[in-house]
């Protein structure tokens, strides 16, 4: 069970790191948001599943999974709200240069 | 397992450092809001890992839950505010 939780936590940290690199390197606001929203949700969910498996079946792990469920609902909602606010303000969209 | 949790926390804090560059240098205000949202999401994981390092998870879980709530509500509030106010975007696509 400990090895399984280590595998889950390592996968989650990998996704968090890739999301951070995407947030750093992408050229446009919308592409950055694409990297930040999805990688963060999946990474944090995998880390929480790993921590709950490490703790075993008790009240703490149920609470950790409920926080994970909350983030699974709210993080895409927040990302959608920010992207909608940017799109309504006519933020320019990055296109490939023709040259 | 103790050393593993400390190492994982350090890796997550390094990725927070990468996001902090976007918060400080972001060309538009909305880039900064996205960076703060991502940093808040990573902080929840760091708080839970701190609970496992110190061996008292049941106290740190409530702190993590409150942090998740404040992160979500703050991001929604900023999105609504800049929805009304408008965003200056000179040089947004570099």
- Region B79-85: what's the mean pLDDT? 86
Q: Is A56 left (phi over 0), alpha (psi -120 to 50) or beta?
A: left
Tens-digit pLDDT profile for residues A16-69: 999 999 988 888 888 888 888 888 999 999 999 999 999 888 898 899 999 999
Give the C-alpha separation, B17 to B61, whole Å.
24
Q: Do B45 and A47 touch (CB under 8 A)?
A: yes
Of A99, A97, A98, A92, whose CA–CA distance to A31 is shortest?
Answer: A92
In a domain, B25, yes or no: yes
Q: Do B30 and A32 touch (CB under 8 A)?
A: no
Inter-residue contact B47 to B67 (CB < 8 Å): yes
Q: Which sign does the torsion angle of CA B77, A28, B40, A38 carry?
A: positive
Inter-residue contact B5 to B51 (CB < 8 Å): no
Stretch 53-82 of chain B: residues touching chain A, C-beta under 8 Å: 57-58, 61, 64-65, 68, 71-72, 75-76, 78-80, 82
* Structural domain total, chain B: 1
C-alpha neighbours within 13 Å on the C-beta side of residue B86: 2
Inter-residue contact B39 to B24 (CB < 8 Å): no
Pick the residue from chain A with its C-alpha nearest to B33: A82
Q: Which residue in B13, B37, B45 has the most chain A C-beta atoms within 10 A of its own C-beta, making it the best mutation to test that interface? A: B45
Domain that holds residue B13: 2-85
pTM: 0.88
pLDDT at B89 over 70: no
């Amino acid at each position: 069970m400990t090895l399984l939780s280590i595998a889950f936590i390592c996968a989650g940290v990998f996704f968090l790191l890739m999301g951070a690199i995407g947030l750093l390197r992408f050229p446009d606001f919308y592409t950055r948001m694409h990297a930040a929203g999805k990688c963060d949700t999946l990474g944090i969910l995998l880390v929480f599943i790993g921590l709950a498996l490490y703790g075993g079946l008790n009240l703490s792990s149920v609470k950790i999974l409920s926080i994970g469920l909350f983030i699974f609902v709210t993080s895409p909602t927040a990302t959608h709200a920010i992207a909608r606010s940017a799109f309504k303000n006519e933020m320019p969209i990055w296109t490939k240069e023709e040259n | 397992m103790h050393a593993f949790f400390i190492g994982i926390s350090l890796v997550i804090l390094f990725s927070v450092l990468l996001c902090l560059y976007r918060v400080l240098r972001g060309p538009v205000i909305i880039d900064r809001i996205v960076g703060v949202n991502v940093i808040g999401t990573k902080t929840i994981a760091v708080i839970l890992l701190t609970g496992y390092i110190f061996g008292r998870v049941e106290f740190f879980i409530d702190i993590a839950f409150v942090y998740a709530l404040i992160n979500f509500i703050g991001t929604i509030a900023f999105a609504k505010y800049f929805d009304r106010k408008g965003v200056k975007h000179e040089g947004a696509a570099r």
